Amino acid sequence: MKKLPDNLAIRIIFNVLAYLLLIPFVFVVFRYIPNAHWPLNLDRVLLFLALVALITFVLRKQKIIVTALWLLVFGILTVGSLSNGYGFRLAYKDFKEMAFGIFTEPEPESTPRDLRPFPHKTKYIQAVDYYNPDVRNYAVSLTADDSLKKYITDYHEYRRLIQCFAVFRDINKRWNYVNDPLGQEYLVKASDNLGVFSGDCDDHSIMMAAAVMSIGGTMRLVHTTEHVYPEILIGDRQNLEDVNYLIKQVMFKDESDGKRLHYHVDNQKQIWLNLDYTARYPGGEFLGSDIISILNL
Q: Which of 80, 103, 126 is the last residue of a domain?
A: 103
The answer to the question of residue 88 being in a domain is yes
Same domain, 119 and 252: yes
210, 130 in Cβ contact below 8 A? Answer: yes
pLDDT at 262: 86
Segment 20-71, tens digit of pLDDT: 656 666 666 666 666 666 766 677 778 777 777 776 776 666 666 666 766 7
Same domain, 95 and 159: no
The answer to the question of residue 1 being in a domain is no
Q: What HEC string does 63-101 produce?
A: HHHHHHHHHHHHHHHHHHHHCCCCCHHHHHHHHHHHHHH
pLDDT above 80: residue 187: yes
* Mean pLDDT of the region 110-139: 91
pLDDT at 14: 63
Same domain, 147 and 230: yes
Backbone angles phi, psi at 162, to 5 degrees: -60, -45
Higher pLDDT, 215 or 83: 215
Taking the complete model, does pTM exceed 0.85, yes or no? Answer: no
297, 213 in Cβ contact below 8 A? Answer: yes
SS3 239: helix
Confidence of residue 4 (pLDDT cuts 50, 70, 90): very low
Same domain, 169 and 90: no
Long-range contacts of 69-78 (CB under 8 A, 24+ apart): 69/21, 69/25, 70/17, 70/18, 70/21, 73/21, 73/24, 73/25, 73/28, 74/24, 76/28, 77/24, 77/28
- The domain of 77 spans 6-103
Same domain, 62 and 156: no
* Mean pLDDT of the region 98-105: 54
Relative orientation angle of helices 22-32 and 88-103, to the nearest 10 degrees: 80
Segment 201-238, tens digit of pLDDT: 999 999 999 999 999 999 999 999 889 999 999 998 77
222: CATH: 3.10.620
Same domain, 271 and 131: yes
pLDDT above 60: residue 157: yes
* Mean pLDDT of the region 289-294: 86
pLDDT at 143: 93
Structural domain count of the chain = 2
pLDDT at 21: 59
Of 76-80, 84-88, 177-181, 293-297, least confident by mean pLDDT is: 84-88
pLDDT at 150: 84
Higher pLDDT, 160 or 86: 160
The answer to the question of residue 118 being in a domain is yes
Of 112-116, 120-124, 169-173, 203-207, least confident by mean pLDDT is: 112-116
83, 76 in Cβ contact below 8 A? Answer: no
pLDDT above 70: residue 244: yes
pLDDT above 90: residue 189: yes
Q: Which of 103, 138, 170 is the last residue of a domain?
A: 103
Give the chain's mean pLDDT. Answer: 81
pLDDT at 145: 85
